[in-house]
């Protein structure tokens, strides 16, 4: 199992982005999305990473991708078959 030190601040960066998103959109906003909506948002964020003009911008967008994916999973939950993995 990887330790927090292994991730080198990645978890904190994603958590900070989740907080930023919650402040921007509000806590109730996530519950209004269907799964397809989340996939569309993720696609947009992936496109933004793909077309970023610098490495820093690309990595920032990848953090956005991870935070959006986390928000989706927070809303819908972890599939039962993955909870025991």
How many angstroms separate the CA atoms of 62 and 18, rounded? 13
How many angstroms separate the CA atoms of 70 and 37, rounded? 14
| Residue 36 in domain | yes
| Residue 33 in domain | yes
Helix, strand or coil, per DSSP, at residue 65: helix
Q: Is the pLDDT of residue 1 over 60?
A: no
| Residue 6 in domain | no
Mean pLDDT over 1-12 rounds to: 72
| Residue 35 in domain | yes
Split into its structural domains, the chain has a count of 1
pLDDT digits (tens, 9 = 90+) for 27-76: 888 888 999 999 999 999 999 999 999 999 999 999 999 999 999 999 99
How many angstroms separate the CA atoms of 85 and 58, rounded? 30
Enclosing domain of residue 65:
11-78
| Residue 72 in domain | yes
Neighbours of 75 (CB within 10 A): 14
**pLDDT band, very low/low/confident/very high, at 11 (cuts 50, 70, 90):** very high
| Residue 54 in domain | yes
Quote the pTM value: 0.84
Is the distance from CB of 83 to CB of 37 less than 8 angstroms? Answer: no
| Residue 1 in domain | no
């Amino acid at each position: 199992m990887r330790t927090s030190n292994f991730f080198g601040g990645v978890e904190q960066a994603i958590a900070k982005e989740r907080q930023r998103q919650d402040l921007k959109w509000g806590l109730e906003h996530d519950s209004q999305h269907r799964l397809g909506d989340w996939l569309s948002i993720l696609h947009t964020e992936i496109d933004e990473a793909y077309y970023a003009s610098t490495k820093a911008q690309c990595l920032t967008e990848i953090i956005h991708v991870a935070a959006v994916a986390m928000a989706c999973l927070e809303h819908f939950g972890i599939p039962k078959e993955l909870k025991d993995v």
